[in-house]
Amino acid sequence: MAIWTAEILKEMRRSLLDWYQRAGRTLPWRNEPDIYRVWISEIMLQQTQVKTVIPYYERWLEQFPTVKTLAAADLQTVLKQWEGLGYYARARNLHQAAQQVVTDFGGQFPEDLESILRLKGIGRTTAGGILSSARNLPLAILDGNVKRVLARLIALEVPPAKALDVLWDISETLLDPKNPRDFNQALMDLGATLCTVKQPDCPHCPWRNHCQAYLNHQPTAFPRKAPKKQIPTKKLVAAIAFNLENQVFIQQRPQDGLLGGLWEFPNREGEIKSLLIQLFPDAQYERSLNTVFHAYTHFKIELEPRIYRVNLSGSGWVSLQSLKDYPFSKAHLKIIEQLQDPQLSLPL
């Protein structure tokens, strides 16, 4: 682990903050005093790019301007607002944490580390990000961008996941205790704009003279990568069943687990015959739509939508127009796009 003198640390903090004043990004949650808004941004930014988050963030605050409005909302409304952003556990955790704030903290978002860590979905780096940004508290962070910056700074010889304690120590050592808000924001911006994964802009980096990866002329050799695991592909078939009233059948996923609480067309890996017998015993196959491809963190799917005509009605049957009122995953949204294409000749 690198060891810096007090003088070097002072210079590193100053140079990073000077760079940030010149080149830092302007973002809607920067210098935001409302801790609720900062919390929303921190959760949305987990594993998601800023350019993707900004429109979701703005729409979210229109729908749920306060923690109390979020807590009072129906989970389906929350999931619909999150639709397309991915990692839906984040939305469920936000909803549950908002209810914790109302029941455990009288509707006032907690502003101390111990209390904030009690909220669903908030860990050490998220808590540090919230409290340093909204309250300028001297708490370190360690998100993906920061891990990359620090791993290059010390030329870390193992993947970051195997040296989290070391990286936390470095983040805490470097943190400017007098200006933690701007320092943490600067550190994240450094990783997002200069110290990028594939083409780091080392000549413009304020820390290049302290960066071991740069000084060794091999910045892209760090962070060290863990061995890649082969990602399996699941081949699924989705039953797009229309009844005689031109309604389509959808079902809700269990609240827990992957895509919990979202809606979908019935689907099954491999043979779909047993699913049809269970749900639509009189199903008549009409045609298939284009196969949908989608990648999750640990696997990929190939989803073939097949259209069927059935003679059923009751709960679960909705019009094509009303599908917009339900939250779906990205893969099933791609099916809906095909169904609503005016060029598509459906058997209706």
- Catalytic site residues? 42
Identity of the amino acid at 347: P
| Conformational region of residue 341, where left means phi above 0, alpha means psi within -120 to 50, and beta covers everything else | beta
Residues in the chain: 348
What is the Cα 162 distance to its own chain's centre?
Answer: 23
From CA 28, how far away is CA 131, in angstroms rounded? 17
CB neighbourhood size of 178 (10 A): 11
Q: Phi and psi at residue 7, in whole multiples of 5°?
A: -70, -40
Nearest one of 226, 212, 215 to 155, comparing CA atoms:
212
301, 231 contact by CB (below 8 A) = no
From CA 186, how far away is CA 40, in angstroms rounded? 20
Identity of the amino acid at 203: P
